[in-house]
Amino acid sequence: MDSISSSGTSSCCYISLIFFIIFKGAAGVTFTVINKCDHTVWPGTLGNSQLDSTGFELPPGGSRSFQAPPNWSGRFWGRTGCTSDPTTGQLTCLTGDCRSNQLECNGNPANPPTTLAEFTIGSGTTQDFYDVSLVDGYNLPMIIEPSGGSGPCLLTGCATDLNRKCPDELRVGSRDACKSACNAFGNPEYCCSGAYASPATCKPSRYSEIFKSACPKSYSYAFDDPTSTFTCTGADYMITFCPSSTSLKSASSTSPDTTTTGGSETDSGGFASWLPDFLTGESSKTLSGCVFYTTLLTTLISHILLTVFYS
Ligand SMILES: *[C@@H]1O[C@H](CO)[C@@H](O)[C@H](O)[C@H]1NC(C)=O
């Protein structure tokens, strides 16, 4: 009698644990897009299946979360300087425009130059691949931060304001964006096309090297070294425009920061750097935080119950 109820309870625990793992796997991935710029950004999304929105407005400090299914692949970018025509109501943007003439991009890609956050999501148990690409040029600082996954799961992106470092011949407007050499000149050697369509023949140019030195973790040209691609399994992702200098530090350094300047988040250790963010973070992070805590809580409860029943 006793053993029956005990095994009944523990198999119930197992079932909920298994159900939870399956549920988590089937739930796919949560992307949270955060705008830390001091100006509005109008993000665009494009993927093998459409997210809840393909284009939206994000005021300074704003954020929005999206669920994507397993095996989703696609990209996020930011549009800047968008204005609606007072008579037609058509939306046009200074950079990153997707030529839909409206807030939603409806499957249209960004008009370069645009910084791109690119993802190839796995099944939940297979690896996700992600990178920040400057192959189509640059318009905004942008980083990707995984949370709650397993594997290397490193922060990547370009936190630098490359518009200020942009060579005149690549510059768009009054430093609104910075073209890639391929965008600007179209030569096969810059575009890795024609005779240059392989990693062996397409080499870094003096232009791609400017991008690479400003943003070492980002793709600076089509066949940039594979270390610009990052992997993580079963994670959620935060995509931040204009990350703060604190994020910038944790992005570029893995050793503890010794040059404390009185900031409250100078500890740039991997775990410690995102944990306070998670606990104190803006409302923006509540969804991925909720997912994270649900995971943590369910795992903990199952673990405790299993331990209790088997001791
Ligand atoms: C995701 O891709 C893997 C490998 O191609 C496949 O086995 C799996 O069924 C896919 N999952 C979904 C939910 O489409």
- Compute the distance from residue 123 Cα to the ligand 1 centre, in Å: 6
pLDDT of residue 71: 97
State the average pLDDT over residues 90-114: 97
Q: Is the CB of 216 under 6 A from ligand 1?
A: no
- Compute the distance from residue 2 Cα to the ligand 1 centre, in Å: 42
- Compute the distance from residue 43 Cα to the ligand 1 centre, in Å: 28
Examine the pLDDT at 198 and tell me if it is beyond 50: yes
State the average pLDDT over residues 121-136: 96
Among the four given CATH numbers 3.40.50.1970, 1.10.150.240, 3.40.30.10, 2.60.110.10, the one describing domain 30-249: 2.60.110.10
Share of the chain above pLDDT 90, in %: 68
Q: Is the CB of 70 under 6 A from ligand 1?
A: yes
State the average pLDDT over residues 201-209: 94
Q: From CA 191, how far away is CA 182, in angstroms rounded? A: 5
Q: Is the CB of 71 under 6 A from ligand 1?
A: yes
pLDDT top residue among 279 and 176: 176
Where residue 286 falls among pLDDT bands split at 50, 70, 90?
Answer: very low
Residue 91's identity, in one-letter code, is L
- Compute the distance from residue 15 Cα to the ligand 1 centre, in Å: 23
pLDDT of residue 228: 87
Q: Is the CB of 204 under 6 A from ligand 1?
A: no
- What is the average pLDDT score of the chain? 79
- Compute the distance from residue 12 Cα to the ligand 1 centre, in Å: 28
pLDDT of residue 297: 52
Examine the pLDDT at 185 and tell me if it is beyond 80: yes
Q: How big is the chain by its Cα radius of gyration, in Å? A: 22
State the average pLDDT over residues 172-191: 95
pLDDT of residue 244: 73
pLDDT of residue 252: 41
Q: From CA 101, how far away is CA 225, in angstroms rounded? A: 36
- Compute the distance from residue 70 Cα to the ligand 1 centre, in Å: 7
Using the atom order of ligand 1, give the atom closest to the CA of residue 26: 13
Where residue 178 falls among pLDDT bands split at 50, 70, 90?
Answer: very high
Q: Is the CB of 101 under 6 A from ligand 1?
A: no
Examine the pLDDT at 1 and tell me if it is beyond 70: no
Report DSSP letters for the chain, one per residue.
-HHHHHHHHHHHHHHHHHHHHHHHHHH-EEEEEEE-SSS-BEEEEEESS--S-SB--B-TT-EEEEEE-TT-EEEEEEEBS-EE-TTT--EE-SBS--SSSSS--TTPPPPSS--EEEEE---SSSEEEEEEE-TT-BSS-EEEEEES-BS----EEE-S-TTTT--GGGEETTTTEE--HHHHH--HHHHT-GGG-STTT----HHHHHHHHH-TTSB-STT--GGG-EEEES-EEEEEES--HHHHHHHH--SPP----S-TT----HHHHHHHHHHH--GGGHHHHHHHHHHHHHHHHHHHHHHHHH-
Examine the pLDDT at 275 and tell me if it is beyond 50: no
Give the start-to-end residue ranges of the domains of the chain. Answer: 30-249
Where residue 283 falls among pLDDT bands split at 50, 70, 90?
Answer: very low
**Closest protein CA for atom 7 of ligand 1:** 123
pLDDT tens column, 223-255: 998 778 999 999 999 999 999 744 444 444 333
CB 44 within 8 A of CB 95: no
pLDDT top residue among 21 and 44: 44
pLDDT top residue among 186 and 8: 186
Pocket test for ligand 1, best of 123, 125, 127 (most atoms within 8 A of CB): 123
CA angle at residue 23 from 22 to 27, to 5 degrees? 120
pLDDT of residue 253: 39
pLDDT of residue 160: 94
Nearest residue to 270 via CA among 151, 117, 134: 151
Q: Which residue has the tokens 């994020």?
A: 247
- Compute the distance from residue 126 Cα to the ligand 1 centre, in Å: 9
Examine the pLDDT at 66 and tell me if it is beyond 80: yes
Q: From CA 95, how far away is CA 176, in angstroms rounded? A: 7
Examine the pLDDT at 264 and tell me if it is beyond 60: no
State the average pLDDT over residues 73-83: 98
Pocket test for ligand 1, best of 22, 49, 71 (most atoms within 8 A of CB): 71
State the average pLDDT over residues 209-218: 92
